[in-house]
Structure 1
Amino acid sequence: MSKVQVKTKELLRFLLLIGLALLTFSYAMFQGGFVSWFLFFSFLPPALYAISLFLYSFSYHGERTFSKDTFLFHEPVRMHITLYRESRFPLFYLIAAEQLQHSSLLSDPQTKTVLSPGFKKKLTFTYEIDQMPRGEHHFTGIRLKTGDLFGLIEKEQQIPVENKIVVYPPLEDIQYRPPASSGDHGAAMTTASSYQHRDSSMAVGIRSYQPGDRLSLINWKATAKRSSLMTKEFEQHQSHDVMMVMDCTPSPQFEEAVSFTASAVKGIIRSGAQVGLLTVSDKRRYFQTDSSAGHEQQLFHHLATIQESGTASFAAVLEKEAAILQQSSTLLLVTTQLTKEAAERVRFYSGQGQSVAVFVVAGETAPATEQTHQQYGINVCVVQKGQFARAFAEVSRT
């Protein structure tokens, strides 16, 4: 409804109110008697209040604060809202409704609150939304509405109060263990602790000390022999890189696939390995392998906002992104349906000497994967919600 229509509607209601007041007054004048005048004086106070409300400049300011900026899936979101105004004009009620951008929560009754301001200039209230869906939610403002007792005069205001929160997918505890290479499917998996606690470098010699070298790396025995500062020289180990690829094609189990991917990312980083991520949804997003806290935050933010809008098949993505996927020593693929074409691409990567594992996220009924494993010779594991912790243990037995 346009502003002109709103103003026209308010004016018509005001004229109706004036007409009712004149009608009751005329009835009392011509009819006379106690009853007619009683009706007029009973109608007069709420009518005068409604007229005053029509002339009142309805103006509030407000702010919204959250207990934190990031939440987990279905975690209660607690909000604290403060509203304040300049005057003490009495208001019988005030309806405050949250305004969100592109969100199904607009129809949620939890986002509306009825208040009794009275003469108060400042109002504070707190409420919770019990189950916030995964995603990035933009709170754009607060819509306020008040009116008179008859409902003839109404005042509305939109307060621009912008906030943004991110709801992460649900996580399950996963103990990551690198899968065996493609040529040894029955071999035991290396424990993650071996990657977490071993040194990232090994001394291979000594060299002259240079400004900026750490004092703890000085070789004092060699320094005493040569009468000059000597420091240890190191050769870096090849890091354990894990590249994850998530299938973004529409599926009833898409949310479970996102949850498993996020849980696996957390488990991999916690083990000390580096992890990257590739998704092709409405946009292609590629994150290089890393294990820093900032990198983990980027991955979780991406998994919180990703949508199932992929147009390319999973097999096509695996074929097109071959140059990137072949750079990592370990390749973990997450999908909700393993097609014949995708299995062929997985076998191709396995033949390149990479450790490849496919995780098929299923619903209540888990599909059979033994035939796929025997036919193509690839690691396939079916995972279900609530059983993610068994995923890498299952891969070790395939």
Structure 2
Amino acid sequence: MRVMMSAVKSGLASRNFWKAASLWFICLLYVLFQGGKTSFMLFTMINVLALYWFICSLAGVKQVRAERSLSLNGELAGKQAIQAGSQVEVKLRLQLPTFIVTPYLVVNEQLQRHNGDSWKYEDSIVPRVGSHAELVYQTPPLERGKYSFRATECRSKDIFGLLEHEGTFQTEGEFYVLPRTIFIPRWPLFSRNSRYSGPETTILQSRRETTQINGVRDYIYGDRISRIHWNATAKTGSWKSKEFERESIPKTMIILDAHAANYVDRERFELAVSTVASLLEFGGRERISVGLCILGREVWGSAPTESQFERQQMLHQLVDISPEGTGDYKAQLEQRKELFPAGAFFIIVTPLADELLFDMLRWAKRSQMIPFHIHIGSARNVDSRTRPGSLYNRQEIAGIQLSSLTDLPVLLGGGYG
């Protein structure tokens, strides 16, 4: 009953109702003042047409239901992670009322991102026999974030093309897109012979490889001939290398600066997030115990771990993060100091290059950690002390200057000097 009353109220507020009511009232006046068979026949036809319009308004496009499925490269998107830059294929299977003829259907879809950005898609389809219809389309390349579909709008006219009817329905369709990443083949910072090793490395665990083979991986340019796995190479047709077990793995903490005042545009923050995500993936491949600390509106942190599940949780934390942080950096670090074990690498990703940065780096040194600074931005924004020959370098604090994600693998092979 409530559904009927709401339909009646919405009908009274629609323009279609007043068009039909005006036509019916004119025909009624024609019957009353003119009379005759012609006027009566016309009035009867208008009543039948009005009844048809009324049924269409209640049981037409308003009763359309649908199922939505998402796929990526031919596989269901729910079974694999969606990386930023990917295009998702959306398939909408529509179920239309069986006893109402729908000549065509205009479908309007709206995909909304967590920050309010939205993308609209509109297309018209002709229902097939059996009151079924299918709409397939592809989204544009998506950036990182959580996405959800708003209520789908449908429009259709009656078989005479006189009045247009509208309806909406809600179908499940939520998914998330991980940040952009880039493959990092190696990072000399973790080498035992790294020139940035200081007194803290006596606490740092060794990561030398043993002679015990632990598996097979893809060949990386520069691998020794003795490391090539010839049997696997012959079977797969592509170069494969032996993977050896390691004695132990160093712990690493990655700190992401998410303070709003430090990012002049969205692109710079996206670069910082993509850098952190790439480092997490590198740690996963190299079996490095990696943790994450985000200095945002609230301090979020996860202790160093080798667990793939925990690493996925860290990546998911980066999906919808925004630069909204404020406050004192050292106070935030002290708030979660249990995340920073002595001897660990302290890798901070930030556009800062001033006294605030050096306070954090000195805090890391006092906590017996090995600082590494990834500066996000152009070189002209770097403090003079971060240039070669400065106190920054004499203290043997490593760092790189990053302005593009594609430069990250190359820059991680060296430093400022």
Task: Give the TM-score band, short-chain normalised.
Answer: 0.7 to 0.9
The residue type paired with residue 381 of structure 1 is I
The alpha-carbon distance between structure 1 residues 284 and 370, as it changes in their structure 2 partners (threshold 3 A), is same
Deviations 1:101-127 (A, max 9, x none): 6646775233x3322337641111211
Instruction: Assess if the C-alpha contact under 8 Å between 1:90 and 1:117 holds in 2.
Output: no
Give how far 1:266 is off. 1.0
Give how far 1:66 is off. 1.2
* 1:139-288 → structure 2 map (5 Å cutoff): 139=149, 141-148=151-158, 152=163, 154-159=165-170, 161-177=171-187, 179=189, 185=195, 195=207, 197-198=209-210, 238-250=248-260, 251=263, 252=265, 253-288=268-303
* 1:348-363 → structure 2 map (5 Å cutoff): 348-362=363-377
Equivalence for 2:226: none
The residue type paired with residue 375 of structure 1 is L
Q: How many pairs align?
A: 353
Unaligned runs of 5+ in 2: 72-76, 213-245
Instruction: Assess if the C-alpha contact under 8 Å between 1:50 and 1:153 holds in 2.
Output: no
Equivalence for 2:11: 10
Question: How far apart, in 2, do the equivalents of 1:249 and 1:267 lie?
Answer: 25
Confirm or deny that 1:388 pairs with 2:408.
yes
Equivalence for 2:142: 132
Equivalence for 2:391: 375
The alpha-carbon distance between structure 1 residues 105 and 257, as it changes in their structure 2 partners (threshold 3 A), is same
Equivalence for 1:296: 311
Give how far 1:241 is off. 0.8
Equivalence for 1:64: 68
The residue type paired with residue 287 of structure 2 is G
Question: How far apart, in 2, do the equivalents of 1:339 and 1:7 lie?
Answer: 66
20, 23, 39: which one aligns with 1:20: 23
Give how far 1:80 is off. 1.2
The alpha-carbon distance between structure 1 residues 86 and 16, as it changes in their structure 2 partners (threshold 3 A), is closer
Question: RMSD value over aligned CA atoms?
Answer: 4.1
Q: Which has the larger radius of gyration?
A: 1
The residue type paired with residue 301 of structure 1 is H
The residue type paired with residue 22 of structure 2 is G
Instruction: Assess if the C-alpha contact under 8 Å between 2:86 and 2:141 holds in 1.
Output: yes
Q: Which moved more, 1:303-312 or 1:164-173?
A: 303-312
Instruction: Assess if the C-alpha contact under 8 Å between 2:196 and 2:398 holds in 1.
Output: no
Question: How far apart, in 1, do the equivalents of 2:52 and 2:116 lie?
Answer: 35
| Paired residue secondary structure (1:294) | helix
Q: Which moved more, 1:45-54 or 1:246-255?
A: 45-54
Deviations 1:8-30 (A, max 9, x none): 35125424313214426756997
TM-score using structure 1 length:
0.73
* 1:24-43 → structure 2 map (5 Å cutoff): none
The residue type paired with residue 66 of structure 1 is L
TM-score using structure 2 length:
0.70
Percent identity, aligned pairs only, is 20
**Which structure is richer in relative contact order (CA contacts within 8 A, separation 6 or more)?**
1
Unaligned runs of 5+ in 1: 201-235
Confirm or deny that 1:97 pairs with 2:108.
yes
Instruction: Assess if the C-alpha contact under 8 Å between 2:208 and 2:247 holds in 1.
Output: no
Q: Which moved more, 1:289-298 or 1:12-21?
A: 12-21
The residue type paired with residue 368 of structure 1 is V
| Paired residue secondary structure (2:319) | helix
| Paired residue secondary structure (1:305) | coil
